[in-house]
Structure 1
Amino acid sequence: MTTPTGARERMTAVVQEVVGRILPDVPREEIAGARHLKDLGADSVDRVEIILGILERLGLDESMSSFSELPDVDALVDFLVSAGER
């Protein structure tokens, strides 16, 4: 059974992996916390690719609109942990 901490760490790793693939110049340690994907240099197309890549990697079926109000990477990770538990 995955603990909440384990699930959060797994989701963080997936987000860092996918963002790192789409934005290869961004150091992995910067893909965390209160930084928004825009702050990392992701334009609107990059952000769509990142979300779609994360959903595909995790096998989740969420609408893109679910992600529009997430303020930062931490909120994205928290949302993914919650979605993965459903």
Structure 2
Amino acid sequence: MTAVVQEVVGRILPDVPREEIAGARHLKDLGADSVDRVEIILGILERLGLDESMSSFSELPDVDALVDFLVSAGER
């Protein structure tokens, strides 16, 4: 799942090295503005074929939390 997040974030933020898209890094810390973050979330949902509300992602503090959420959403 981390690879999917890295792929989509890398497409939206091409100047960010993939190894930095992990762990406790928040998307804002990687340089993503609010529009970038929406594009990232929509891209991930589309890539994974998930149907989740955008509001589900508003409280996720970092890349690890995003990955954990996506794993649990995929298991439903």
Using the size of structure 2 for normalisation, the TM-score is 1.00
Runs of 4+, deviation exceeding 6 Å:
none
The DSSP-based 3-state class of the residue aligned with 1:34 is coil
Give the C-alpha shift of residue 39 in structure 1: 0.2
Q: How many pairs does the alignment contain?
A: 76
Give the C-alpha shift of residue 42 in structure 1: 0.1
The DSSP-based 3-state class of the residue aligned with 1:51 is helix
Give the C-alpha shift of residue 43 in structure 1: 0.1
Runs (5+) with no aligned partner, structure 1: 1-10
Runs (5+) with no aligned partner, structure 2: none
Q: Which protein is bigger by CA-based radius of gyration?
A: 1
Q: Deviations over 1:19-42 (max 9, x none)?
A: 000000000000000000000000
Identical positions, percent? 100
Counterpart selection for 2:5 from 6, 15, 23: 15
After superposition, the CA RMSD in angstroms is: 0.2
Q: Deviations over 1:23-72 (max 9, x none)?
A: 00000000000000000000000000000000000000000000000000
Matched, 1:43 2:36: no
